[in-house]
Amino acid sequence: MSFENLLIERDHAVAIVTVNRPKVLNALSTQTLDELRRAILELKYDESVRAVVITGAGEKAFVAGADINELAVQSPTTGREHAIAGQQVLDLIEHLGKPVIAAINGYALGGGCELAMACTIRIASETAKLGQPEINLGIIPGYAGTQRLARLAGRGRALELLLTGDQITAQEAYRLGLVNRVVPGAELLAHAKALAASLAAKAPIAIRYILEAVHKGLEMPFPQAQIFEATLFGLVASTDDMREGTRAFLEKRKADFKGT
């Protein structure tokens, strides 16, 4: 895979995707979004990839939002298409079936905050800043930020952030439940990679079903979501990894999961 605006690296079963437009604080142009879509699809079907880290190039930004040069000239129809395309890429990330860790190394604003929210787990550097500043441009979030922020941080906090457009610190984001962990900037990538590697060593089918049970189950009425969970629980009993995991426990050794 080679891209103009993304760097893709591999560290054993972990793929690291770096949005690489540091001159514009890694703003998501249409081309960058499209590259992200192609990269994520490729990683989805690559069975040797068990976890993904997404981060931004440079010292300053994770992603400072959609590219405002493009937003400035959008029409109603291109705006709609742009939002739908962005939502689809973020849905792909959320439904990758593998854990995706956002390593938030700086500004995660607008589309950058939305990208981070579509990831499975968010780790921020101490100096990161998050927010949905669209209101200050006279627009609204278009990559499902109104929806994911309200689900992650609650309706009242989401409305405050969306309506003020204020940037918040990593610590504040942690307090709101918007990020899972805050670590010193120098340790961020190593921390994210280590977490990704530890998740990559777990049973991939069970990982996939947990992701599915949470994401799809939350969109269902509770009794239906419970049946869905029970069905996945039953399905996982067909895997070699279930036999390996339970046997390894009883034999007091570390399980060696194969993904079958």
Say if CB 70 and CB 137 are below 8 A apart. no
Distance CA 69, CA 71 (A): 6
User: Interaction with ligand COA in 87-116: which residues (CB under 6 A)?
Assistant: 107, 109-111
* Residue 212 designated active-site: no
65: left (phi over 0), alpha (psi -120 to 50) or beta: left
State which of residues 24, 135, 150, 183 lies at the interface with ligand COA (CB under 6 A): 24
Q: Which residues contact 188 (CB under 8 A, 6 or more apart)?
A: 55, 103, 104, 105, 123, 124, 125
- From 8-16, 23-31, 96-104, 248-256, give the range in contact with ligand COA by CB under 6 A: 23-31
Residue number with CB closer to ligand COA (148 or 191): 148
Which of the residues 134, 187, 244, 251 is marked catalytic? 134
* 176 in contact with ligand COA (CB under 6 A): no
Amino acid at 48: S
**In this chain, which stretch among 24-32, 95-103, 219-227, 246-254 interacts with ligand COA, using CB under 6 A?**
24-32
Three-state SS for 54?
strand
CB distance 101 to 51 below 8 Å: yes
Q: Looking at 47, 70, 94, 114, which residue is catalytic?
A: 114
Q: Could you list the active site residues? A: 114, 134
Q: Which residues in this chain contact ligand COA in the complex, by CB under 6 A?
A: 24-25, 27, 64-69, 107, 109-111, 133-134, 137
